[in-house]
Structure 1
Amino acid sequence: MPVVVSTTGARLSVRDSGGDGTPIVFLSGGPGMPDYLGEIAELVPGRRVVTYDQRGTGGSTVTDGDYSTGAHVADLEQLREHLGVEQLHLFGHSWGGMLAQLYATAHLGSVASLFLCSPTPGVGDDWVAMERDVMAYSKKRCSSGAFAMMGLRSLLGRILRVGQRSLQKMYAQVWLNYQNPDSALPADRSLLAGIGQQTTFATRASAASLPTDFLDAVLPQATFPFFVMFGENDIYGEHTQLVVERYPDATVEFWPECGHLPWLDVPARFENQLRSFYEVNGYS
């Protein structure tokens, strides 16, 4: 059962398997989507795994109106304190991969390892360019009518009350676009129901407002285990090279026959990679 962890300005819905060792905290994407990585966390049995709904999504609420990247980083740091541990293994997917990068930049000594799965590549101007190209990716992945509806629903998503339903429909199409088209599975209804309207737009604006070189100084010097993977058909396209160039000492792989959701596109390879990473770099 989830527990509520109070942080500065938020009440987070957290699921902690308990147990010994340094916990693996799973960070889902969006921004604005609730946790959808619970099933992935179960792929590393016997480990202490933690998932949570980021502020303003799912069962988590915001009390101070702050949806900035700094607030998300502060939530994660206060979650670490709540767990009573000195370090965290971080698994981050998409925007969750960006959150992991931001957290490690601010709290490098609190990170035991990073597993970045199709992480958002950059902030500032890089974020703006990335969003533009991701939209172009979606345009190629669905019909012209479906793409037009995505744009309309994104605009309607900013309106109170009606916006939540519009965002749910937009994200439902996005979830399909981001998989291999011949095997795409629809998003779970409970996932769509937990989408955070304000988090979706305010956190994106905050990431775009950061200096473009914000990630370039601290994290590239990390000495902990650092693995990054992208699908060869990933939504980020050429922007993936930003990660390759920023982290020359990280292990970076590009997987064939794979899009943005590798656990759905290539489940066997994904499970093997996840388990081997945490078995090798596991626990004290």
Structure 2
Amino acid sequence: MNVLLPHQDAWLFTTLHLNPGKETVLLLHGGPGVPEGLTFVRKYLARQFQVLSFHQRGTLMSPCRSQDYSLDRYLSDITCLAGHFRLERFHLLGHSWGGLYAQLYAQRNPNRLLSLFLANPASGTGTHWKEMSLEIARYNQRKSTWWEWLAMNAHAGLGLLGRDQGYRGFFRQALLNFSRGFKEVYPEQFALHCIKAQPINRTVKAILSHPELSPGQDPSCPVTVVYGQQDIYGESMRHVVQRYPKARFAFLPTCGHIPWSHNQPAFLEVLNGHFRIS
């Protein structure tokens, strides 16, 4: 079931996989500004849960009239969805940037969560984001040919100047790099043609200006964090480890940034354990 929900300055294109009587899992896609990318996870969880996903503000079918991409507005979007579907508590699953989005929500609203599942989450806000971004740049350089790396930098520059095509070219190469060298059992789908520069630039600006998330958090619900052993991050992952000292961490072998595609059996073992799927 697809619904276009009005929320103050934005419309949120939302997909609900109905499963009456079951707990709800809310999915947060990556990017920022790169919709979709969680098709396997959505289909898999929908067999035993009610699954809710949406295009984040300013992406694909969720226009944002005010062009406000502050993190407070992002968090209010989740509150809007929870209110509309009458969700007192729910599971939250985020991938990449969506994993940081989920951490921000968990810090602000820990009592709303049944559990928190972070798949390859971004390392944090402020200086943590800067550190992580440099690691991703080095990863992309290693994975690219000289010409591909040159083109990536040119596309990124155009994106920073507000050109949608710039970021589309950048993310097209980045996603190729993320799976280069891995055997893909489920090639994931990302809506690259809908990427827009303004949501990306303004969201990244908001992330950089936000204070670092505090270490030693306890959301009072089960927390699982999954990374690939050959993920796009480096030492900055330590910030997430320090942030959730009581969480279950899994570093999957022969796996990069898209674990359900690169090492699906290992990923499903962790996912099933977290959600108690037999």
TM-score by length of 1: 0.91
Gaps of 5+ in 2: none
SS state at 1:221 partner: coil
CA contact (8 A) 2:253 2:263 kept: no
Mapped partners of 1:222, 1:182: distance in 2: 34
**Which residue is equivalent to 1:70?**
72
CA contact (8 A) 2:24 2:90 kept: yes
Q: Deviations over 1:201-249 (max 9, x none)?
A: 111111011112x3437xx122211100111111111111111112110
**Which residue is equivalent to 2:261?**
264
CA contact (8 A) 1:228 1:251 kept: yes
What is the CA-CA distance between 1:51 and the residue it aligns to?
1.0
Distance 1:57 1:193, change over 3 A: same
Q: Within the alignment, does 1:191 sit opposite 2:188 as a pair?
A: no
**Which residue is equivalent to 1:153?**
155
What is the CA-CA distance between 1:256 and the residue it aligns to?
1.1
Q: Deviations over 1:147-187 (max 9, x none)?
A: 11111111112445xx2222212111111111252436876
Question: Percent sequence identity over matched residues?
Answer: 30
Distance 1:52 1:30, change over 3 A: same
Superposed counterparts of 1:104-253, under 5 Å: 104-160=106-162, 163-183=163-183, 188=189, 191-212=191-212, 214-216=213-215, 220-253=217-250
CA contact (8 A) 1:27 1:35 kept: no
**Which residue is equivalent to 2:87?**
85
TM-score by length of 2: 0.93
> How many positions carry a matched residue from both structures?
275
CA contact (8 A) 1:101 1:215 kept: no
Distance 1:255 1:182, change over 3 A: closer
Q: Deviations over 1:119-151 (max 9, x none)?
A: 011111111111112111110111111011111
Q: Deviations over 1:23-45 (max 9, x none)?
A: 10111111011122133111121
CA contact (8 A) 2:38 2:188 kept: no
Gaps of 5+ in 1: none
Mapped partners of 1:38, 1:215: distance in 2: 32
Mapped partners of 2:210, 2:160: distance in 1: 22
CA contact (8 A) 1:38 1:51 kept: no
